[in-house]
Amino acid sequence: MLSKNRIKQITSLQQKKIRNESRTFVAEGHKVVMELLRSPMTVREIVATDDWIALHAASFHGVKITAADDAEIKKISAMQTACNVVAEVEMKPQKPFALDASTLYLALDSVRDPGNFGTIIRIANWFGISTILASDDCVDLYNPKVIQASMGSAFRVDVHYCNLPQTLAAAQKIGLPVYGTFLDGENIYTSSLSKNGVVVLGNEGHGILPETAAQITRRILIPCGASAADAPESLNVATATAVVCSEFYRQCIKKWNH
Amino acid sequence: MLSKNRIKQITSLQQKKIRNESRTFVAEGHKVVMELLRSPMTVREIVATDDWIALHAASFHGVKITAADDAEIKKISAMQTACNVVAEVEMKPQKPFALDASTLYLALDSVRDPGNFGTIIRIANWFGISTILASDDCVDLYNPKVIQASMGSAFRVDVHYCNLPQTLAAAQKIGLPVYGTFLDGENIYTSSLSKNGVVVLGNEGHGILPETAAQITRRILIPCGASAADAPESLNVATATAVVCSEFYRQCIKKWNH
């Protein structure tokens, strides 16, 4: 059973300010929690239904666990459809960050939607991109919906918040090409993409912001297959990320093999 | 101003049964409604704030328009964050459907999440795929969240609900290869993909269901770039769709050019 106070404490972690003070966040749902237990993250406490505990007890390695009923879990959940397990987790320790001239990075410019942000983290993870540069006004990595949409990838990919235009300028200085998707860019499928660089994806409504765009050295384009009359205005930012990462990966495998 | 009865009528369209009886559905939000007004869809009525009407009156071509205040729009909205315009729209007329041996189709097997479904429609539209085959247990095309996530593409792409295994069997008979993504499939980047065929994407949790899988003739794989210890279990179905459509498109452009 959870005390009223503890319920209040856990729900307060839906606020970024409180998360930053306590250096903890909440992860929810069976899949995400199982990923968590497999990861090097430090889990402070698991709150779960008796059924979940009975089925998954074998997965805990000395983690504090508290049984709660559906109504209690509903109270502490940030999701519309509450699940049967919620964990309080310590944030990753902040590592000193330095750009590396041989790495491929993703960079997100003012990506605000937590579902998009989490999905992009999962895409980066799939394609072996281990660091994402995020402009300071992107949604918070530890937002419950980001954690949910990343399906565990938030525990494996490093997200480095920064002044993005400045970081891109620094990337250029060490020889990293800085890619960005634009309507007047080069066709991504016929461009020769590099194994290193920074690939910038823009805000949901406004695309790449002017100050960031000024730092782009290679403008690329995902061509549209629909006729002008039938074409959508744009792709969703997570979809564009998937296409771009896929194409970088495809070309780089080829480069590694030849 | 909206009568109580009209508010009840519009909100009832959040239910599939009522939509099917009235053959109408609701589309919300500025971008989606602007797409609607540009499309051949028949708009029965637009309900919007005075501000929206003042700004966009030039876009209506004889459409019935009703002013409402924020509170009324909030009542008729299916979204968490209500917008300033809602439209009641007639469903597309149902066209007789016949498979064509030279076309590339997407097929969705039990895709239940409306956000995924709508995003997939937008992806198909972008890459010039004009027909989606959807198993009968997929989410409804006219679900408000599908309409929202498709950002207007639902008005341009045809979605044909069907008994999917039977339709795939029929596709095979007319010589269409039937692709599906599997962990033991051929690497999509090095496979030779055809310009025609059916590409099957599976359910969010369970992938392609066994009865559907039995109809797949070409098993393909989106390779994972992460090491086994760091790899996510899977890609989101909309992400997988983006990667697969992108690669079919890339290879087909090449085939058209040579």
Tell me, what CATH number does A145's domain have?
Answer: 3.40.1280.10
| Residue among A119, A227, A250 minimizing CB distance to B239 | A119
For residue B97, being part of any structural domain is answered with no
What is the CA angle B22-B27-B30, rounded to 5?
A: 155
Strand partners, A25: A89
For residue A34, being part of any structural domain is answered with yes
| One domain for residues B193 and B233 | yes
Q: What is the dihedral of CA B60, B63, B66, B72, to 10 degrees?
A: -90
pTM: 0.94
Of B90, B115, B142, which marks where a domain is finished?
B90
Q: Does A189 sit within 8 Å of B250, measured CB to CB? A: yes
| One domain for residues B133 and B10 | no
For residue A98, being part of any structural domain is answered with no
B chain contacts of residue A224, beta-carbon cutoff 8 Å: 126-128
| One domain for residues A122 and A199 | yes
Q: What are phi and psi of A31, to 5 degrees?
A: -60, -45
Domain that includes residue A17, residue range: 4-90
| One domain for residues A146 and A215 | yes
Residue-wise pLDDT for A70-98, tens only, equals 999 999 998 877 789 999 999 998 888 99
Report the alpha-carbon distance of residue B213 to residue B181 in Å, rounded: 10
| One domain for residues B16 and B68 | yes
Which residues lie below 8 Å from residue B64, measured CB to CB, with a gap of 6+? B44, B45, B46
Per-residue pLDDT at B80: 77
Report the alpha-carbon distance of residue A170 to residue B230 in Å, rounded: 28
Distance from CA of A199 to the nearest CA of B (A): 17
For residue A248, being part of any structural domain is answered with yes
For residue A95, being part of any structural domain is answered with no
User: By CA distance, what is A156's nearest residue in B?
Assistant: B230
- One-letter identity of residue B197: G
Which regions of chain B are under pLDDT 50? 257-258
For residue A46, being part of any structural domain is answered with yes
The domain tally of chain B equals 2
Of A66, A90, A114, which marks where a domain is finished?
A90
For residue B49, being part of any structural domain is answered with yes
Q: Does B123 sit within 8 Å of A235, measured CB to CB? A: yes
Residue from B130, B239, B257 whose CB has the most chain A CBs within 10 Å, to mutate: B239
Which regions of chain A are under pLDDT 50? 257-258
Of B90, B117, B136, which marks where a domain is finished?
B90
| One domain for residues B114 and B175 | yes
- Alpha-carbon torsion B60, B66, B72, B76, what sign? negative
Which CATH number goes with the domain that contains B79?
3.30.1330.30
| One domain for residues B64 and B146 | no
Which residues lie below 8 Å from residue B201, measured CB to CB, with a gap of 6+? B106, B107, B108, B109, B111, B120, B180, B181, B208, B237, B240, B241, B244
| One domain for residues A71 and A145 | no
Q: Does A250 sit within 8 Å of B247, measured CB to CB? A: yes
Q: Does B152 sit within 8 Å of A127, measured CB to CB? A: no
| One domain for residues B114 and B185 | yes
Report the alpha-carbon distance of residue B153 to residue B156 in Å, rounded: 5
Per-residue pLDDT at A257: 46
- One-letter identity of residue A249: Y
- One-letter identity of residue B8: K
Inter-residue contact A90 to A67 (CB < 8 Å): no
- The Cβ of residue B139 has, within 10 Å, a number of other Cβ atoms equal to 20
What is residue A242's DSSP assignment? H
Q: Does B232 sit within 8 Å of A126, measured CB to CB? A: yes
| One domain for residues A86 and A108 | no
| Residue among B126, B231, B233 minimizing CB distance to A226 | B126
| Residue among B119, B225, B249 minimizing CB distance to A236 | B119
| One domain for residues B172 and B212 | yes
| Residue among A156, A232, A243 minimizing CB distance to B125 | A232
Q: What are phi and psi of B205, to 5 degrees?
A: -95, -30
Give the up-direction half-sphere exposure of residue A186: CA atoms within 13 A in the CB hemisphere: 11
Report the alpha-carbon distance of residue B243 to residue B181 in Å, rounded: 11
A223 shares contact with chain B (CB less than 8 Å): yes
Per-window interface: A 40-69 vs B, CB < 8 A: none
A chain contacts of residue B31, beta-carbon cutoff 8 Å: 233
Inter-residue contact A189 to B250 (CB < 8 Å): yes
DSSP reduced 3-state for A163? coil
For residue A163, being part of any structural domain is answered with yes
| One domain for residues A80 and A126 | no
Per-residue pLDDT at A83: 84
Token pair of B68 as six digits = 């409402």
